[in-house]
Chain A
Amino acid sequence: MKASHTMKNRASPFASLLPALLVIGVLVLVPALGPSNRTLSLAISAGINIVALYGLAVLFGQTGILSMGHAALVGVGAYVAAILARDAGIGFWVALPLGSLLAAVAAAIVGVPSLRVSGHHFVIMTFAFGQLLAIVLTNGGDFTGAATGLDLQLPVTWFGRDAGELVPYYFIVVAFVAISAIASWAIINSSYGRTLRAIRENEKLAASLGINVGRHKIGAFVVSGLFAGVSGVLLAYFFRHISPNQFSSFPSIYLALMVMIGGARLLLGPIAGGILVSFLPEMLNLDPVESRILYGVCLIAVILLLPNGLIAGLLQGLQAIVKAAFGSRAETPAAGANNASGARR
């Protein structure tokens, strides 16, 4: 191997992790600034969404598969947590891996039949499965708590002490955001991540190079399910009450919106999308109805004007300005990082 290529290819991955770690480092400091309980709650629910968004980013950003039933997988994690706590006395820390695993199994159950059909059909299938789950939960009687849902019956503990208060729970959520970001970074820069991108870019060519496209698509779906399950357990223990409509079609669209606004291919995309969408209505002082209209308009505008998401759009704008100012081929991270470069245009 020639040193020149390998050098560049080994140096860049770590550089792409740094901004994400930096942002997470800032997030760790937030409680020290004495935020209001309202701000902290918003931050926690944003963080819970971000964990799921990292999974969705692997699926949509890397593999190019759009799932419109993703909230249902989050729901699997949440209901697993609630039912385990009620029926088996199993708490938060054991529920996390179990919820994650079962959400991944659910993803496989949805993925295997859905991926037999292609493109649009697949998206509609995921949507249908999401709706189906909400109906099953609503008709599940006492086991799922029917339309009213379930209460979480165990506290979150941390080394024998209660960690259900806002500040400790905030740290737990930020830790999982960090883990998700690092896991996602590891996937993006692995041979596995490259395989997924190959499928995204050109399925036929990928298959001709010996890649089992179907198996890897289901794999990506299962991986995204792992993230969704963790997010679901975190969500259940934060809200302490869950009900079917939290996991139906609107929350799924909402998740897709967040990942697209942030940018599905950038490591910082899920964090940016999650925080922006959670805090924007608060900052603009909008009521829930107005803020949802704003979300919809944002989604449409981002797709038509900034198809790579807000962050990539900003970076590209910055790049253009730098280019104009210095007249040279200045390279910004957006152009250098392979995960950001494929413009969906």
Chain B
Amino acid sequence: MDILIQQVLNGLSIASVITLIAVGVTLIFGLTGIINFAHGEFLMVGSIVTWIAVQQGIPFLPAMLIAILVVAVMGFALERGLFQFTLTRPTNGFIVSLGLIIVLQHVVILFFGPNQKSIPRPLSGVWDVSGVRIASVRVMVILVTIAVVAMTFVMITRSRYGRALRAAVEDRDTAALMGIPVRRYITGVFVLGSALAGLGGALLIALFPVTPFTGGTMVMKGFAVALMGGLGNLTGAVVAGLILGIVEGFSAGYGFSEWTDAYSFGLMILVLLIKPNGLFGGTSGPKMA
């Protein structure tokens, strides 16, 4: 039982990172229609930047902020340089993102080698709560994720910016007539999603060693979660992330850890078979739950 709780906690901490990816892709897809499969590589770049910064002697927290900033700037450059030309052709945008996967992975390998990179745990404390050993770093990852996702949620649903954004999603032309700078909003959302990936990358390398190929697996799980919840649906992404975390934790607890990677895909395929639009209903293009 104790080990089980520990495993579920482990599962939830990984699922936190995956949820950050899922929220990023769901946000970007829901509000701009761009499917960015290279989102996992954005995350990996976030990890690598954190690793470089920590190697330079910078403490974890500022290193994390640097990673967020670098990935956000990268997102800005790529949206302006590439994705903005694919807005009317979502499939082309998707293919461009596949090209980016290869480029980003191998540029990182070119400069930093293919081997795995790790940093010392930013929080090394382990709490012993009546026999259950809880690593503080995992709790930190979960708490940071909850805080950031909650902030994103409030920003999209409650703020004036969020309302204007959703108006732009409903009808781009009308929103433009109302004086909403639709183009700039699309860029803004892409940058926000990228920043979340940068954060996810920093949190991930705090938990595990990272290789240039980590992004590929992570983004698949992120998309699996986003699709399970309903692509474009923020609430759905969070709930599905939670479900995946618990399932992965339990399976590791019961000794099926070699199959862990299969669950996200298996669950996604199962969910989509029963509910093609995801658990909470998704959108087929820019629209927000």
Within the complex, the shortest CB–CB distance from A273 to chain B, in Å, comes to 14
The answer to whether A304 and B82 touch (CB under 8 A), given A123-B94, A296-B106, is: yes
Residues in chain B near residue A191, CB distance under 8 A: none
Alpha-carbon separation in the docked complex, A297 to B223 (Å):
24
Alpha-carbon separation in the docked complex, A223 to B29 (Å):
31
Q: Would you give the 0/1 interface string for A115-141, flagging 1 where the beta carbon is closer than 8 Å to chain B?
A: 011111101110111011001101100
Let me know if B101 is at the binding interface, CB within 8 A.
yes
Q: Which residue of B lies closest to A124 (CB)?
A: B223
Q: Which residue of B lies closest to A120 (CB)?
A: B35
List residues 82-109 of chain B with CB under 8 A from any CB of chain A: 82, 85-86, 89-92, 94-96, 98-103, 105-107, 109
Q: In the bound complex, do residue A253 and residue B98 qualify as a contact, i.e. CB atoms below 8 Å apart? A: yes
Residues in chain B near residue A257, CB distance under 8 A: 98-99, 102
Residues in chain B near residue A307, CB distance under 8 A: 92
Q: In the bound complex, do residue A260 and residue B95 qualify as a contact, i.e. CB atoms below 8 Å apart? A: yes
The answer to whether A299 and B98 touch (CB under 8 A), given A128-B268, A132-B266, is: yes
Let me know if B129 is at the binding interface, CB within 8 A.
no
Q: In the bound complex, do residue A304 and residue B92 qualify as a contact, i.e. CB atoms below 8 Å apart? A: yes
| Contacts beyond the supplied A113-B273, A292-B102: 19 A-B pairs with Cβ under 8 Å | A66-B94, A116-B276, A117-B272, A121-B276, A125-B272, A127-B220, A128-B220, A128-B268, A131-B261, A132-B262, A135-B265, A139-B262, A253-B98, A253-B102, A292-B106, A296-B99, A296-B102, A296-B103, A344-B89
Within the complex, the shortest CB–CB distance from A144 to chain B, in Å, comes to 13
Q: In the bound complex, do residue A68 and residue B98 qualify as a contact, i.e. CB atoms below 8 Å apart? A: yes
Would you list the 5 A-B pairs with minimal beta carbon distance, nearest first?
A296-B102, A296-B103, A299-B99, A300-B99, A128-B265
Residues in chain A near residue B96, CB distance under 8 A: 299-300, 303-304
Q: Which of A119, A129, A249 contacts B284 (CB 8 A)?
A: A119
Interface SS of chain B: helix
List residues 157-206 of chain B with CB under 8 A from any CB of chain A: none
Within the complex, the shortest CB–CB distance from A297 to chain B, in Å, comes to 6
Within the complex, the shortest CB–CB distance from B84 to chain A, in Å, comes to 11
Q: Which of B217, B262, B269 contacts A125 (CB 8 A)?
A: B269
Number of interface residues of A (CB under 8 A): 41
Let me know if A293 is at the binding interface, CB within 8 A.
yes
Q: Which of A120, A124, A139, A303 contacts B99 (CB 8 A)?
A: A303
Give the B-binding residues of A (Cβ under 8 A).
66, 68, 113, 116-121, 123-125, 127-129, 131-132, 135-136, 138-139, 249-250, 253, 256-257, 260, 289-290, 292-293, 295-300, 303-304, 307, 344
Residues in chain B near residue A290, CB distance under 8 A: 106, 110
Q: In the bound complex, do residue A256 and residue B227 qualify as a contact, i.e. CB atoms below 8 Å apart? A: no
Alpha-carbon separation in the docked complex, A300 to B29 (Å):
20
Q: In the bound complex, do residue B265 and residue A300 qualify as a contact, i.e. CB atoms below 8 Å apart? A: no
Residues in chain B near residue A131, CB distance under 8 A: 217, 220, 261, 265
Within the complex, the shortest CB–CB distance from B204 to chain A, in Å, comes to 19
Q: In the bound complex, do residue A128 and residue B91 qualify as a contact, i.e. CB atoms below 8 Å apart? A: no
Within the complex, the shortest CB–CB distance from A156 to chain B, in Å, comes to 33
Let me know if B224 is at the binding interface, CB within 8 A.
yes
Within the complex, the shortest CB–CB distance from B244 to chain A, in Å, comes to 13
Q: Which residue of A lies closest to B102 (CB)?
A: A296
Q: In the bound complex, do residue B95 and residue A299 qualify as a contact, i.e. CB atoms below 8 Å apart? A: yes
